[in-house]
Amino acid sequence: MAVAGPQILPHIEFLLRGNLNIVPDFTHEYGKAYLFAGELEKAKQLEMAVLEHRRNTVGDDHLATLEPMHWVAWIYEKQGKFQEAEELGILVVNKQREVLGENHPDTLESTGNLAVVLNLMGRIRDAEELESVVLERRTDILGETHPETLIAMSNLAATDSKLGRLQEAEALGLEVLERQRKILGHNHPDTLISMAHLAFTYHCLAKFREAEVLEIAVLQQQKSSLGENHPETMRTMNNLAFTYHKLERLQEAEDLGSVVLDKGRRILGDNHPHTLLTMRNLAMTYSKLRRLQEAETLLVEALKKQADALGNNHPSTLCTQSNLGTTLNKLDRWQEAEDLLVPALKKQKDLFSASDTHIVDTLRSRPSHSINWGN
């Protein structure tokens, strides 16, 4: 399926108006179109209708049922419902292994997508294990330069960054990007995602100016192709705001971060993980600007909601807890700061090896190949 631009949505809405009981294949494609356009709730409504229909007609194990099940899992991921995404993703992968085999392209795609969910849940090493399997099998079956192999390489490079393997991640990211630009073009969605992954690695390496160049290029193309209110565009805006923060361009960081937070609250909701990450990043900028009360207010809200949504031991939750502790320390509330910082540091050391603990502070909202925008 070709990528559907936002301009097609009014036509789909006209066809669907007052009637979801249309041909399931069409409903499925319409659901994907809404997903590509960032209209997540409408996408889920359509894909759930197809899933229920196919379960009732051909059963849970039929390939026709597994396809919408796969897409519903990814809609859950985009909505920040990671537990639901994991459960459904595991179900899809296991059934595809039984019906199609472990090396089938659909099985490998679903396995890679499940790895993305595990990554977002903070289970980085579990994600790495799956990504390594996918890359090895795609390389053996498709070759090193196939677009699907390059997707797997790009995802693994970003995970290597999170695990502190920064030199390997940079080398792999540069290799992937060079191949994608040559094969797919500079503005292909897969190329843009690999640019964002490499920017993430540059951030971990403290190469903030290199990260800025890539993020600006990605953002310009996303605004043109997806629109300013698309979740992927907003994600890149948040990352760029964080890069401005690291470059000490605090006014730019505040201005862009405030725009993204407003969009996130309106479009994704107050409790979405990306909204909460934006909230934390903006609070960090407030803290550097010595607007400590404003920083504390945002961090308290973000920490509570992250703990509820992601759990107390998630890397993003621990990072927010550390940021709040640091802010309270600046406010001379030393005991409260210690009560937050000491357990956060201990949990970070439990989650990451000694060489990896610095990565917690660089975890940002990185895009993933959870949706293949080119098909």
pTM of the model: 0.85
Q: How confident is the model at residue 371 (pLDDT cuts 50, 70, 90)?
A: very low
Q: How confident is the model at residue 347 (pLDDT cuts 50, 70, 90)?
A: confident
Mean pLDDT of 65-86: 94
Mean pLDDT of 333-342: 94
Could you tell me the sign of the dihedral formed by the alpha carbons of 113, 114, 115, 116, in that order?
Answer: positive
- Compute CA distances 28 → 218, 264, 273, whole Å: 29, 27, 27
Domain that residue 112 falls in: 1-123
Does residue 209 fall inside a structural domain? Answer: no
- Compute CA distances 178 → 38, 159, 172, 186, 192, whole Å: 28, 19, 10, 9, 12
Reported as a single tens digit per residue, the pLDDT across 294-307 is: 999 999 999 999 99
Q: How confident is the model at residue 355 (pLDDT cuts 50, 70, 90)?
A: very low
With tokens 């605004």, the residue in question is 223
Left, alpha or beta for 105 (phi > 0: left; psi -120 to 50: alpha)?
Answer: alpha
What's the mean pLDDT when you consider all of the chain? 88
Does residue 99 fall inside a structural domain? Answer: yes
Return the pLDDT at 294.
97
Does residue 181 fall inside a structural domain? Answer: no
Reported as a single tens digit per residue, the pLDDT across 228-237 is: 999 999 999 9
Does residue 337 fall inside a structural domain? Answer: no
Does residue 80 fall inside a structural domain? Answer: yes
Does residue 166 fall inside a structural domain? Answer: no
Does residue 97 fall inside a structural domain? Answer: yes
What share of the chain has pLDDT > 70, as a percent? Answer: 87
Could you give the number of structural domains in the chain? 1
Q: Which tops the pLDDT comparison, 187 or 26?
A: 187
Reported as a single tens digit per residue, the pLDDT across 143-162 is: 999 999 999 999 999 999 99
Does residue 17 fall inside a structural domain? Answer: yes
49: domain CATH number? 1.25.40.10
Reported as a single tens digit per residue, the pLDDT across 14-49 is: 455 545 454 556 788 888 888 888 888 999 999 999
Q: How confident is the model at residue 352 (pLDDT cuts 50, 70, 90)?
A: low
